[in-house]
Amino acid sequence: MTKLPLELLDLYKTGTIIDKNGNERQVDSSISEAEAEILVQVVKELKARKTLETGVAFGASACAICFGKDICNENIHYGVDPNQNDFYGGAALALLDRVKLSHQFKLLEGPSHIMLPQLLNDNIKIDFAFIDGWHTFDYTLIDFFLIDKLLSPGGIVAFHDMQGLSKQKVLNFVLSHRRYKIEKKYRVVGNERLMKTIKFFVWRLIKEPRLLFSWFHWNYQLRNSSGLIVLRKIEDYEPNFDYFSNF
């Protein structure tokens, strides 16, 4: 059995996708093929049924997450994206239709700080979440804060584009203020040429020299430019009302 659906492999091969209006679009932002395989693996091993992501875009991550699930009527994947039908032309919806996985998908078309509280109000619990929305510290932290309340103990949350310092700051908060552990077995490693990795490091360091001191870069991005990290929720936990730890 293929690790990924053929329609998603075609996206990676051509770098293009057909949106719901039949227009061909360049895929200029997406998880990588190796990252998609990791998402499939996580969902399969977790036996996840209810899942969620912030930032649907062209639909590669949504496709991988839905593809990783067993056939079950309880399966549902919530995709939060305020721009799916206008900016992206429904490209993710069209991809899921072609892969015959659209029955599992529910688009929450709006900002995550508005959409996620609606799931909380409905007492929804999820098994897996993928955070890939707006990348600033505040929006990423709000995504995690709300997802933490939706995520069942033992569930998994994955962050994308962790090479950004804003995302790394959120990770420091997660590890110091909640009960999560990094699942290193889901790390993307060693699938790129050394020269590509060197070019990536140089580009990132020119843009942001402080990344030279980033533990994430040195532990997760040697021979790989992937920005994916996966964490498992150990337990529901709220610190005391006056708790604070530097992060």
Condensed to tens digits (0 to 9), the pLDDT of residues 85-112 reads 999 999 999 999 999 999 999 999 999 9
Instruction: Write out pLDDT tens, residues 113-151.
Output: 999 999 999 999 999 999 999 999 999 999 999 999 999
Q: Which domain holds residue 206?
A: 193-225
- Residue 78 is assigned to a structural domain of this protein: yes
- Residue 66 is assigned to a structural domain of this protein: yes
Are 207 and 98 in a shared domain? no
Are 60 and 130 in a shared domain? yes
Are 122 and 203 in a shared domain? no
pLDDT over 70, % of the chain? 98
Are 134 and 218 in a shared domain? no
On whether the CB atoms of residues 128 and 52 are closer than 8 A, the answer is yes
Nearest to 150 by CA among 43, 11, 9, 53: 53
- Residue 164 is assigned to a structural domain of this protein: yes
Are 158 and 178 in a shared domain? yes
Are 94 and 207 in a shared domain? no
Are 218 and 167 in a shared domain? no
CATH of the domain at 91: 3.40.50.150
Q: How many residues does the chain have?
A: 247
Are 61 and 175 in a shared domain? yes
Instruction: Write out pLDDT tens, residues 188-230.
Output: 876 677 787 788 778 878 888 887 888 888 888 776 778 999 9
SS3 label, residue 27: coil
Nearest to 229 by CA among 50, 73, 31, 19: 31
Query: Per the structure, how many domains does the chain have?
Result: 2
Are 219 and 133 in a shared domain? no
Give 70's DSSP letter.
Answer: P
DSSP letters along 185-240, please? GG---S-S-HHHHHHHHHHHHHH-GGGGG-HHHHHH-TT-----EEEEE-------
What mean pLDDT do residues 53-57 have? 98
- Residue 243 is assigned to a structural domain of this protein: no
Are 220 and 141 in a shared domain? no
